[in-house]
Amino acid sequence: MSGAPSKSNTFVGSPIERVEDLRFLRGRGQYVDDLALDGMLHAAILRSSVAHGHIMSIDVTAALARTGVHAVVTAADVVAALGAVPAIPMRQEQMPVFKPYEQPAIAHGKVRYVGEPVAVVVADSQAIAEDALEAIELTIEALPAATGPHSEEALLVESTGTNCAATLTAVRGDADAAFKDAPYVRRERFRVQRHTAVPMESRGLLADWGTSRAHLTVYGAAKVAFTIRRILATQFSLAEDAIAMIEGDVGGAFGVRGEFYPEDFLIPFASRTVGRPVKWIEDRREHLTATNHARDVACEIEIACERDGTIRALRGHAHADVGAYLRTNGATGARNVAQVLSGPYSIPNIRVDVSVHVSNKTPVGTYRGPGRFEADFFRERLLDMVARDLKLDGVEFRRRNLIAEAQMPYALATVVPLNIATETDTGEYRETLDRCLVEIGWNEKTALQGRLVDGRYHGLAVGCYLEGGASGPRENARMVLETDGTVSVYVGSSAVGQGLETIFTQIAADALEMPLDRIRGVYHGSTTHVREGFGSFSSRSTVMGGSAVIDAANNLKAAIRAAAAKGLRCDADAVTIEAGQAIGPGRLSIALAALAAGGISAEGTFASTKRTYSYGAHAVHVAVDPKTGQVAVLDYVAVEDVGRIVNPMTLHGQGTGAIVQGLGGAFLEHLVYDEDGQLLTGSLADYLMPTASDFPSIRTVALESKPTPHNPLGAKGAGEGGIIPVGGVIANAVAAALSSLGVEPRELPLSPSRLWQLIQVAKGSSR
């Protein structure tokens, strides 16, 4: 742990074990459900069992009469206290047309999905609160449910006259002109199912509204604590500094945890109502019905090529089902589908429309690789079909069209009306493709393509992708020299299980030229640590937060030199910092611990609007049993260039975990609704997830050939690349395996039952 520092500390780049894990392995992690405050009460939430309907009456009399029940909160109570039920605003993709579709913090007059909060019971225990839910008499007049991909029969917001909230369009060049007289054109339809992240720890909150003064403390913050504080301050008419959001340990997030949900308002409001701390912990069924869903996109996509395989243009229209409301980042996936449908390929002409539709389902948000997972499935499936039509080798077809290093920076399509434009930074995309082929043994295994061996058809596929990261606009850090000569690091980034404490310890130790054990700790996420923070999303923590740590370290060293110069009676430039000492001319020195008594700290900021783009390739070898539809993943290889690698060990964990989540989405996970808007897969008995033994043969290779020039670390985001290409690669491998049967997967998941049906249909059509 300590390591001997030098002028060329090399902790960055070393496979150092996670510093967080010691407390976790000892059972000393502190999650929100581990917390208890004096006088704490517990909340349970009555959720709508009807997908769409008018609330006719809510009678809470019997529930309030139960022993141990302190309050039952409904929309009427919120209106009485605040004058109106506040809505959940958009955090990203803010557009005026989205405003009517924002979610009220509690159902008011109407419900629009199964799981929408209608009332909150506050009681002495969670069991009492849950039992009291049954005593609430709720009458809902059911309305027809809109559950189709773009149903207009039942309007969710009557005043808008439509269930299509907006259409986002990605534009580059002139796609329509490029399609005219194109030598080759193919059009296909694809669909990615609705599924979601299922972190080990479900959501939870502990709110404490101070009764002596208007001050709110909320425990259980994650991901974007400062944003949630800002929203709460507006909802409760409080100053932002009157609210403290406290982040503890978090058992996974993957994009869904930490956004603003109705409970983020309701639990603080409940605490305000009863004048005591209130805790709420989500159970697994609540998680599956109320936490953000994701994906659920269908598209029709068309490609134009020259006969040699050079891609002329890409165009299409996708439909994204965002559920009942647009909340926080509900349009982000749709925007990404439009912008990254071209992926890492040089396609001069693009026009992709993505219509955003509301329906009587749980609202969607971001889940690892939002929009990118879907876009890669659509594109990579189509590219394999095109290569076969043109009688081209699929690998060479991709290699020919990859963005070349000489084209960097390469502008992706601009998304309107949001006017979001971006461009790649650095990369040699062919390098990762070639390395991936070597790692999988492509040349040796291609003889197996489509062969039936011992009752199973074998198939191989490869796909390429890019991963955008480092969302701005900035991030902040603060360092404090402690009285024992160690340094505490405070950051605006959030830790959501990604190893942030380890990464930032390495970066800080190198920047300060100190041993690792002189970094007392990394304290993250809470609004009490820094004046301003932006959190962890879009693969930004290492790039933005890590760069802010470097700036804070440089400022702290300057502050130490300035303080030491006064005692050593020399210029600050003459002071060096070595082995816990500030050393001046003649080797006179002052211990850092002694300097700390005067109070030395420094802040740092890193600001950037330039995104980073990691890139890579995945390859897989599968075997398909045609009698059962079962697919065995025999070998899976991922190669990604992430710029500069801070910690190969944590990076490997990120990559492997993301691939497994992608395989779950490709084969298993599916949130299924019936025509009445009832969720049919609302438990882990029905919503299938991968286990540790399902996919044992996964290998990841990380490269750092092309650091980015956009930050002092040279690092690129690397949290999502592992999941992005999985669906397309798997579907292409299955298609290759079953090529002799003519099976062409166009929809995920490729569950055994669905694949078996595709095989039966193919066999029937060939008779």
pLDDT digits (tens, 9 = 90+) for 309-361: 999 999 999 999 999 999 999 999 999 999 999 999 999 999 999 999 999 99
Distance from C-alpha of 33 to C-alpha of 30, rounded to nearest angstrom: 8
pLDDT above 80: residue 149: no
Q: What 8-state DSSP symbol labels residue 605?
A: E
Cα–Cα distance measured from residue 462 to residue 638, given in angstroms and rounded to the nearest whole number: 10
pLDDT of residue 716: 96
Please, what is the end-to-end C-alpha distance for the chain in angstroms?
67
> Which pLDDT score is estimated for 1?
35
Angle at 347 between CA 341 and CA 348, to 5 degrees: 125
**Residue 545 DSSP symbol:** I
pLDDT over 70 (residue 138): yes
Identify any residues that bridge with 350 across adjacent strands, giving them in sequence order: 172, 314
When pLDDT is cut at 50, 70 and 90, the band that residue 7 belongs to is low
The amino acid that residue 246 corresponds to is I
Sorted by where each starts, the structural domains of the chain and their CATH numbers stand as 21-30+471-607 (3.30.365.10), 431-456+615-767 (3.30.365.10)
Q: Is the pLDDT of residue 2 over 50?
A: no
pLDDT band at 213 (very low <50, low <70, confident <90, very high): confident
Q: Does pLDDT of 65 surpass 60?
A: yes
Over 411-478, what HEC string results? Answer: ECCEEECCCECCECCCCCHHHHHHHHHHHHCHHHHHHHCCCEECCEEEEEEEEEEEEEECCCCEEEEE
pLDDT surpasses 80 at 464: yes
Q: How far apart are CA 407 and CA 81, in angstroms?
A: 59
Return d(Cα 626, Cα 118) in angstroms, integer. Answer: 48
Query: In the sheet where 600-607 sits, what is the strand order?
Result: 519-524, 487-491, 474-481, 600-607
Cβ proximity of 260 and 88 under 8 Å: yes
Closest Cα partner for 328 from 604, 535, 496, 497?
535
Q: Which of helix, strand or coil describes residue 350?
A: strand
Mean pLDDT of 690-709: 94
Peptide bond into 409 cis (omega under 30): yes
DSSP assignment letter at 407: G
Mean pLDDT on 92-114:
97
Classify the C-alpha dihedral 458-459-460-464 as positive or negative.
Answer: negative
When pLDDT is cut at 50, 70 and 90, the band that residue 3 belongs to is very low
pLDDT at 199 over 80: yes
Sequence-distant (≥ 6) Cβ neighbours of residue 316 within 8 angstroms: 299, 300, 301, 302, 341, 352, 353, 378
Average pLDDT over residues 737-762: 96
Over residues 219-270, the pLDDT tens digits come to 999 999 999 999 999 999 999 999 999 999 999 999 999 999 999 999 999 9
Q: What are phi and psi of 19, to 5 degrees?
A: -75, -20
Q: Is residue 220 within 8 Å of 236, Cβ to Cβ? A: no
Q: What is the pLDDT of residue 152?
A: 79
Taking only the tens place, the pLDDT of each residue in 26-36 is 999 999 999 99
Lowest mean pLDDT among 44-53, 146-155, 268-277, 690-699: 146-155
Rg for the chain, CA atoms, rounded? 27
Within 544-701, where are the H helices?
546-568, 592-596, 648-667
3-class SS letters over 67-111: CCEEEEECHHHHHHHHCCCCECCECCCCCHHHHHHCCECCCCCEE
Q: Which residue has the tokens 């039966």?
A: 760
Q: Where are the alpha helices (DSSP H) in 402-488?
A: 429-440, 442-445
Q: What is the pLDDT of residue 765?
A: 73
- Residue 717 confidence (pLDDT): 92
pLDDT of 4 strictly over 60: no
Of 614, 613, 630, 633, nearest in space to 622 by CA = 633
- Any idea which residue has 């492997």 for tokens? 656
pLDDT of 297 above 90? yes
Contact 277, 39 (CB under 8 A): yes
Peptide bond into 100 cis (omega under 30): no
Asked if 473 contacts 609 with a C-beta cutoff of 8 angstroms, the reply is: yes
Confidence of residue 766 (pLDDT cuts 50, 70, 90): low
Taking only the tens place, the pLDDT of each residue in 660-687 is 999 999 999 999 999 999 999 999 999 9
Q: Which two structure tokens, joined as six digits, stand for 715?
A: 């690092």
Q: Which residues pair with 703 in a beta bridge?
A: 641
Q: How far apart are CA 557 and CA 551, in angstroms?
A: 10
In this predicted model, what pLDDT tens digit does every residue of 571-623 receive, in sequence order? 999 999 998 999 999 999 999 999 999 899 999 999 999 999 999 999 999 99
CA 611 – CA 410 distance, rounded (Å): 12
Q: Which residue has the tokens 């990559």?
A: 655
pLDDT higher than 70, residue 57: yes
Token output for 256: 């869904």
Average pLDDT over residues 262-284: 97
Q: Which of the 8 DSSP states describes residue 530? A: S
pLDDT at position 545: 97
- The full DSSP string for 690-742 is --TTT---EEEEEE-SS--SSSTT-B---SSTTTTTHHHHHHHHHHHHTGGGT
Three-state secondary structure of 207-249: EEEECCCCEEEEECCCCCHHHHHHHHHHHHCCCHHHEEEECCC
Say what the pLDDT of residue 214 is.
83
Cis bond upstream, residue 417 (ω within 30): yes
